[in-house]
Structures are given as structure tokens and as C-alpha cells.
Amino acid sequence: MTKRVGDTPARVGVAVPAAGLGRRMGGVRKPFLELAGKPVLLRSLSPFLAEPRVTAIAIAVMREELDNQPEWLTDLDKRIVVVEGGETRGASVACAIGALPDDVTEIAVHDGARPLVAPEVISRCIDLARAGVGAVAGEPMIDTVKRVDEEDFVTGTPDRSTLWSAHTPQVFPAKMLRAAYSRCSAGTTDDASLVEATGGRIQMLDDGGMNIKITRPSDLVLAEAILSTLGSD
């Protein structure tokens, strides 16, 4: 059953930044790479399309891709709109948010190059946002983290027991996220940090460690291994 806040049914909009240059992939457009026979972006979108509370998806791409969309994307789902992104991730998210209908009750932000998110993670993040807080998928930090200066000399070692890696989806009440982005989006790589700056409460949700982002060539190899282990097509 669809959860409700008061008498308002859930209408979740999804903002998908997919306009990055892919410098660490040698300039290859990561969302349009194939992963085990399917485009990375398609795999990133599919669990959101299967979530019944999602009513709109806005994908921000590079300008040249607006008029040269792959056929699979053009015909994928009537809930999808493709818009021109910005020069930074934050600017692209802002463009996508601006293209979502005004009546969405929650907004999820999800990286176009994060193709292994589990449907239950999306559902749980939406549930938290329905309760009035920001929800961020991620995982507790398992590596020791070093703080360094401008010359890479170590200046400290934070206590990792209080540290998490922040992934996506990041889901928020729509008014909360729109207000945060109306103040500033330049340079941000994390939507929750903007909400934090406006006083919003954020809760982390463990996504199990397999929700990786395709950033380097080795990530494709790892993602294929994960899909093989899970027995996914």
C-alpha cells in the first residue's frame, strides 16, 4: 500500500544527473556504456520505473545528446523527460529538479552511472522521506581515512566509526530539496550537504555495499562480477 503523509498520496519525482564528461573513463560517457548487455543508464533507471510511487523522472544530459537520444531511451517510459544539464553535477541536478512537475511530494536524486541500486533501498529511502527527513543510501566507512594538507601530508585520522560513504539515491521531501537548491547548487557533489546547510535532518541507510558508481574502467569489471554473483540479467 502506498504510504501517505496526512491525506497526500506519494508522487515521487526522480532527478538523474547524466551529463558528466567521464574524465576518469577517458572521456567516455559513462551512462551510455554497456554493462552486461544493457546501457548503464537503463540499469540505473529500471528499479525506479518499477517503483509504483514514482510518477516522473527527469534526466539531465549534455546538450548534444538532447537531439541524439538512443532509441531505447526515447521509447522507454512516458514518465521520462530528458533535459539539458549543466557544467557541474549540482547544476545538472538543479536542471532536472526544475523539469519535474510541481506536484511531486518527494524528490529522489540518483546518479545515472549507479546501475546496481536495489529496489528495496529505493523503497526504504522513499519511506524515510515520507516521514519528513532526508534519506541517503550509503555504507559505513570500512577503510581508515586520512586528512591531508595541500601537499598531501597527513594532518589527522578521523574516527571512522562515525563516518559513512554517501551514495545515491538521496530522497527528500520535495519542498525541502527545492528550497536547498534555490539557495545554492554550484560545486556540490552531494545533495544532502545542501539540505544539511538549510537545517534539514538527514538519515543514512545502509545499501549493502554493492551500489557502486561507474567511475573508472575497473568499476565495469566489478559491476559485471556483482551482476553475475546476483544472477541478474
Query: What local confidence, expressed as pLDDT, does residue 2 receive?
Result: 44
Q: Which residues of 71-97 are buried (b: 16+ CB within 10 A; e: fewer)?
A: eebeebeeebebbebbebbbbbbbbbb
Query: What local confidence, expressed as pLDDT, does residue 229 receive?
Result: 87
For 160-198, what is each residue's pLDDT tens digit?
Answer: 999 999 999 999 999 999 999 998 766 677 899 999 999
The pTM is what? 0.92
Tell me which CATH homologous superfamily contains domain 10-230.
Answer: Spore Coat Polysaccharide Biosynthesis Protein SpsA; Chain A (3.90.550.10)
Query: What local confidence, expressed as pLDDT, does residue 188 receive?
Result: 77
Query: What local confidence, expressed as pLDDT, does residue 184 receive?
Result: 76
More confident residue, 70 or 24: 70
Query: What local confidence, expressed as pLDDT, does residue 232 receive?
Result: 73
Q: Compute the distance between CA of residue 154 and CA of residue 24 in angstroms, rounded to an integer.
A: 25
- Categorize the per-residue pLDDT at 68 as very low, low, confident or very high, splitting at 50, 70 and 90: confident
Residue 188 C-alpha cell reads as: 556540490
Query: What local confidence, expressed as pLDDT, does residue 3 receive?
Result: 46
Query: What local confidence, expressed as pLDDT, does residue 25 receive?
Result: 57
Mean of pLDDT values over 2-25:
75
Comparing C-alpha atoms, which of 53, 147, 157 is closest to residue 105?
Answer: 53
Residue with cell 594532518: 155
18-22, 73-77, 204-208: segment of lowest average pLDDT: 18-22
pLDDT exceeding 70 applies to what percent of the chain? 91
For 110-150, what is each residue's pLDDT tens digit?
Answer: 999 999 999 999 999 999 999 999 999 999 999 999 999 99
Residue 90 confidence (pLDDT) above 60: yes
Query: What local confidence, expressed as pLDDT, does residue 21 receive?
Result: 64
Contact 99, 92 (CB under 8 A): no
Domain ranges in the chain are: 10-230
Mean of pLDDT values over 8-27:
80
Contact 207, 137 (CB under 8 A): yes
More confident residue, 156 or 183: 156
Mean of pLDDT values over 37-44:
96
Query: What local confidence, expressed as pLDDT, does residue 103 receive?
Result: 96
- Categorize the per-residue pLDDT at 26 as very low, low, confident or very high, splitting at 50, 70 and 90: low
